[in-house]
Amino acid sequence: MAEARDLSPPDTAAPVHPRDPLAWCLALTGLYALLAGWRLAIPSIPFFDEVHYLPAARELLALMETGSGTYLNREHPLLGKELIAVGMALLGDNPLGWRIMPLACGTLVLFAGMRALWHASEDRFATIAFGVLLATGFHLFVQSRITMLDIFMAAFLAVAAWQFAGACAQPEKGRWRLALTGLALGCAMGAKWNAIPLAMLPGLAFFAARLSAGRRRLFMSRRGAPVPGITLVEAFVWLGIVPLLAYALTFAPGWWLGGYLRPSPLAEAGLIGFHREILSLQQQVITPHNYQSTWPQWLLNTRGIWYLYEVIDGSQRGVLLIGNPLTMLAGLPALAWCLASGAWRGDWTKLAVVIGYGAALGLWLIAPKPVQFYYHYFVPHFFLLAALALSLSDLRRAGLGQRLGRWLAWGMLAGSAGLFALFYKVLAAAPLEGAASFAKWTWLAGWR
């Protein structure tokens, strides 16, 4: 009798790659833009920190129109205020003009964040889950609807993460993606200095990967991770020199911010000298604030900020910045899981998420800024939700039963969306019933 033939596929069969969820990324981004942009012009007056940044943007507009303007809000770099001025130039000095660029950048954060996680993990479910978690996580929605600098910084950081992950995943496109990474990193720092710790990570990761490979020609070798074909010297140009040049260029309008008879503070001191003033302003002692908080409160989501709570535009309205009560807490064990499983399996995507969270949060553990606020947790929370998305993807494949794992994973996403719907009125400044309505959402004393 003839022996049975082995019809099993050979070991050399090409691996199956998951399908790129680009259509889902675009659909989620479009829905988010529509929801966040709904009634964007309400409230019709500046609220919370808009009162600091709008006057600075108006001076930039005055510079373009009359050739002179006062250099306001010197404690922060210029790019964020320049982008606010662009929105006002396009749509006018009105609520829609103030907030159109934050909305555009918030939408970009969502799309770029999903694309970054896809290129880093090639995990279809985690990518889609990350989009849902970000869109319903409270932070991004609130910051997309207010004129503050954090959303601009976050947008450029998200683009940098997208392009760097794309360079690692697609080395044939590595050069131009690394160039875009460097440009985005410089712009992130040009929006707000909080980006500096994260701006250092791509270059350090590239150096560490080449160093661990033990190449004889460490600086000139084109072989090996993270981007084959790119030498360490070239990577230093894209990830070290380009960010600094891009950052410096964001200050160009500041050279002319002054009057006809007097130069601007930047022109007087020079770029380096002017940074001494920025640093001193950043370190100045600020009067204690009712809404100040500490990083342990950020982790546990126990201290919020009412950006708005007053009668405006014919109704009682409020805007509350807290994190989604479900996902902010669920993200903490997810970070621990990503650290443990990432180290055990050598999963650099999970380890990168943990490192990013540590760098973003670690800044506030050592920053010489005596008064800190919950919106400083904005960037760390991106990594927290990425860790949760990756952990939910693992849960779907867990040995405790695929059906149970799927229900738990999808249940977390449904729970996040449900809480977003429940809190929507105090995230979007929707009309409330009366002055005491805040009690419906202040589940903790620290949310009052």
Q: What is the pLDDT of residues 312-325, one digit of tens each?
A: 999 999 999 999 99
pLDDT recorded at residue 222: 78
Residue 384 pLDDT exceeds 90: yes
**Mean predicted confidence (pLDDT) in 416-420:** 98
pLDDT recorded at residue 406: 85
**Mean predicted confidence (pLDDT) in 349-373:** 90
pLDDT recorded at residue 5: 47
C-alpha radius of gyration, the chain, whole number: 24
**Mean predicted confidence (pLDDT) in 105-110:** 98
Residue 261 pLDDT exceeds 70: no
pLDDT recorded at residue 326: 97
Nearest to residue 374, comparing CAs of 328, 429, 317? 328
Confidence band of 201 (pLDDT split at 50, 70, 90): very high
Confidence band of 8 (pLDDT split at 50, 70, 90): very low
Most confident among 50-59, 67-76, 226-235 (mean pLDDT): 50-59
Both tokens of 236, joined, read 């230093």
Across the chain, mean pLDDT equals 91
Confidence band of 225 (pLDDT split at 50, 70, 90): confident
pLDDT recorded at residue 262: 65
Task: Please give the share of the chain, as a percent, with pLDDT higher than 90.
Answer: 74
Higher pLDDT: 251 or 210? It is 251
In this structure, of 38-42, 178-182, 264-268, 296-300, the range with the lowest mean pLDDT score is 264-268
- The Cα–Cα gap between 216 and 375 comes to 46
Residue 419 pLDDT exceeds 90: yes
pLDDT recorded at residue 2: 43
430 burial type by CB count under 10 A (0-12 exposed, 13-18 middle, 19+ buried): middle
- The Cα–Cα gap between 387 and 129 comes to 11
pLDDT recorded at residue 44: 96
Distances in Å between the alpha carbon of 88 and those of 52, 66, 84, 99?
15, 16, 6, 9
Q: Which long-range contacts (CB under 8 A, 24 or more apart) does 249-252 make?
A: 249/186, 250/77, 250/78, 250/79, 250/82, 250/186, 250/187, 250/190, 251/77, 251/78, 251/190
pLDDT recorded at residue 255: 86
- The Cα–Cα gap between 90 and 82 comes to 12
Higher pLDDT: 215 or 431? It is 431
pLDDT recorded at residue 4: 46
**Mean predicted confidence (pLDDT) in 219-229:** 82
Where helices occur in 192-264 by DSSP H, the ranges are 196-199, 201-213, 232-236, 242-249
Confidence band of 264 (pLDDT split at 50, 70, 90): confident
Residue 265 pLDDT exceeds 70: yes
**Mean predicted confidence (pLDDT) in 280-304:** 86
Rounded to the nearest 5°, which phi and psi values hold at 8? -70, 150
pLDDT recorded at residue 3: 44
Residue 210 pLDDT exceeds 90: no
- The Cα–Cα gap between 72 and 435 comes to 35
Confidence band of 339 (pLDDT split at 50, 70, 90): very high
